[in-house]
Amino acid sequence: MEHEASNSAVAVPEQSLMERLREVRQRTLDLCTSLTAEDMMVQSCPEASPAKWHLAHTAWFFESFILSKFAPEYRVFNPDFPWLFNSYYEGFSAFPEKKLRSSFSRPGLNEVFDYRKHVDESLNRLMESGAPPAALERIELGVNHEEQHQELLLTDMLHAFYTNPLRPKYWEQGTGIRDQKNREQGSEIRDQPAALGFRQFQGGLCEIGFAGEGFCFDNELARHQVWLQPYGLADRLVTCGEYLEFIGDGGYSRPELWLSAGWAAVKTQGWRAPLYWWKEDGAKENGADEGERSVFTLRGAVPLSWMMDAPVSHISFFEADAYARWAGRRLPSEAEWEVAAEGIPVDGNLLDSWNLTPVPATNLIRNENGAKHQNENGAKHYGDCWVWTGSAYLPYPGFRPLEGALGEYNGKFMSGQMVLRGGSCVTPKKHIRASYRNFFAPETRWQFSGIRLAS
Ligand SMILES: [Fe+2]
C-alpha cells in the first residue's frame, strides 16, 4: 500500500527542505546498492512492487504533482511515464494493473536512473528559482511519500529473497543478528528480555491527532478529544519466544482463540507460524539443525533460537488478536497507543539503526551516541515492528482529504483496514511520530508487524 497525503503548512525552512529532499532521494538509491538489476524486477506477492518500480514511481510523484504543476519550463521525461508509473490515482490518469509491474522490463534500469536524475535536476532548478509555498508543501509531501516507499522497497525485497530458493541476504555486513550469534557463541551470558510489564494510564478525556509544528499526513487530522477508560500498555513487544509458546499451546488449532475471519484465514492460508518462520530439512549454513525452526531476515536465514528474545514480526492482525486472547490480554486501541506515546522521544530500532530486523529490547539498541537506548520511563515505544491496534482505520472527526487527485492518497482506503502504530526496523526515523497512522488489511503479513499487549 502506498499510503500517501499531508497537512497544509510547510514544516521546514526552504533551505532545510532542499537538504532533506537531497538526503531522501539519495537514500533510495543507497538502498539499492546491494541489489542486482534482476533483483529489482521481482514482484513476489500481490502486496509488493519491484524495486525498479519504486525508483520510478517516487520520481513520478514529483514529476506529476510538483514539476508539471509548478515548473513552467518543465519537460516531461517520457510521455508514457505519467500513466505507466501512476500507482492508484484514478483522478490523475489510467494506470496498469499492479500485478503487471513485474513485466516492466522496459524502460530499462538505466533509463529509470536517468528519469530520477532528470526529476532531481528539475526540482533543484525549481527550488533555486524560488518555488511558491504551494510547491514547497507538495515537495515536502513528495519527500514523505518517498520515505514510505523506502520502507516498502525493503519489505518487498525481504519477501522477494524469501521466495528465492537460494534465500539470499539483502545485507551481509555490520551488526544485527550476526553480532547476536557471535555473542552467544562466545559467552554463557545471554541477555534475557525484561519481564513483561504494563504501564498504567488513568485515561479520561484525552486528545489524539497531530498538533504543533511540522509535517503530517491528512489522516492524522483533526486533533480531537477521545474518552479512554483506565488502561495498561505493555512496556515492550511480544517476543518470538513468547509467540512460540502460543504455537506450542495449539494456538493455530484452537478456533475459540480466533475471530471468524481470522480462523477462516488460518484454514485457507494454512497458517501455522509467522510468515518467515520455517523448519529446516537438513543442517544449513545458517547453523540451524534439522527440524529446527529458522527465521528469514534481510540479513539472511538465522535459527529461531537466536531470535527468541527479539519481537515477533510478520504476523497478521488476526494472529496478533488471537495471541492477545490466548495471553488473557487484548490489543490496544490506536488512541491508547498514542496517548501513551506522549513525551517519549522518537528513538529505537528504526531504519537509521541499520539492524534491518527486530532485535531484543536489551540487545543492540543503540542511539546515535552509541549508548544503549533506554528512554526515561523505560518503555521502548517505537521501532522493531509496527503494532497492530484494535482500531479500524476510519476518518477522524474533521478529516479533510487533499484537493484533486492527491485526495486519493489516504482517504479512499478507509474501509476494511486496521491501524498500525509506532514504525518498524525499516521505517526512517524522521518519518515516524506519535500521531502517525499506518493501515493494512487484517490478513496482511508481509509487513514488519507485531504485537504490543494492552490490559
Ligand atoms: Fe506511492
Question: What is the reported pLDDT for 432?
Answer: 97
Question: What is the reported pLDDT for 253?
Answer: 97
* Cell numbers found for residue 184: 552467544
For residue 57, report the distance from its CA to the centre of ligand 1, in Å.
7
Average pLDDT, the chain: 89
Q: Judging by beta carbons within 10 Å of its beta carbon (0-12, 13-18, 19+), is residue 169 exposed, middle or buried?
A: middle
d(CA 255, CA 266): 9
Question: What is the reported pLDDT for 363?
Answer: 42
Question: What is the reported pLDDT for 280?
Answer: 78
For residue 201, report the distance from its CA to the centre of ligand 1, in Å.
37
Residue 297, phi then psi, degrees to nearest 5: -130, 175
* Cell numbers found for residue 175: 551488526
d(CA 197, CA 195): 6
Residues of the chain with pLDDT under 50: 1, 3-9, 175-176, 178-190, 363-378
For residue 10, report the distance from its CA to the centre of ligand 1, in Å.
20
d(CA 361, CA 152): 24
For residue 87, report the distance from its CA to the centre of ligand 1, in Å.
6
Query: pLDDT tens, 171-195?
Result: 986 544 544 444 444 333 345 566 8
* Cell numbers found for residue 100: 503487471
Q: What fold is seen in the domain 7-163?
A: Four Helix Bundle (Hemerythrin (Met), subunit A) (1.20.120)
Question: What is the reported pLDDT for 174?
Answer: 52
Instruction: Enter the pTM of the model.
Output: 0.91
Coil, helix or strand for 294?
Answer: strand
For residue 252, report the distance from its CA to the centre of ligand 1, in Å.
35
Question: What is the reported pLDDT for 362?
Answer: 57
For residue 367, report the distance from its CA to the centre of ligand 1, in Å.
30
For residue 7, report the distance from its CA to the centre of ligand 1, in Å.
17
Q: How far is CA 193 from CA 190, 307, 363, 373, in A?
A: 10, 11, 9, 14
Question: What is the reported pLDDT for 12?
Answer: 60
Q: Which of 148, 224, 225, 210 is nearest to 9 (CA)?
A: 210
d(CA 280, CA 288): 7
For residues 297-336, one letter each, b for 16 or more C-beta atoms within 10 angstroms of the residue's C-beta and e for the rest, the string is: bbbbbbbbbbbbbbbbbbbbbbbbbbbbbbbebebbbbbb
Question: What is the reported pLDDT for 193?
Answer: 63
Q: What is the DSSP letter of 375?
A: -
Query: pLDDT tens, 375-401?
Result: 444 457 999 999 999 999 999 999 999
For residue 151, report the distance from its CA to the centre of ligand 1, in Å.
11
For residue 105, report the distance from its CA to the centre of ligand 1, in Å.
20
Q: Are 170 and 357 in contact (CB under 8 A)?
A: no
Question: What is the reported pLDDT for 72?
Answer: 93
For residue 235, report the distance from its CA to the centre of ligand 1, in Å.
33
Domain boundaries, the chain: 7-163, 180-450
Q: Which of 384, 393, 405, 403 is nearest to 448 (CA)?
A: 384
Q: How far is CA 69 from CA 62, 74, 90, 275, in A?
A: 10, 9, 18, 42
Q: Are 265 and 318 in contact (CB under 8 A)?
A: yes
**CATH architecture of the region 180-450:** Alpha-Beta Complex (3.90)
For residue 396, report the distance from its CA to the centre of ligand 1, in Å.
22
For residue 302, report the distance from its CA to the centre of ligand 1, in Å.
32
For residue 411, report the distance from its CA to the centre of ligand 1, in Å.
14
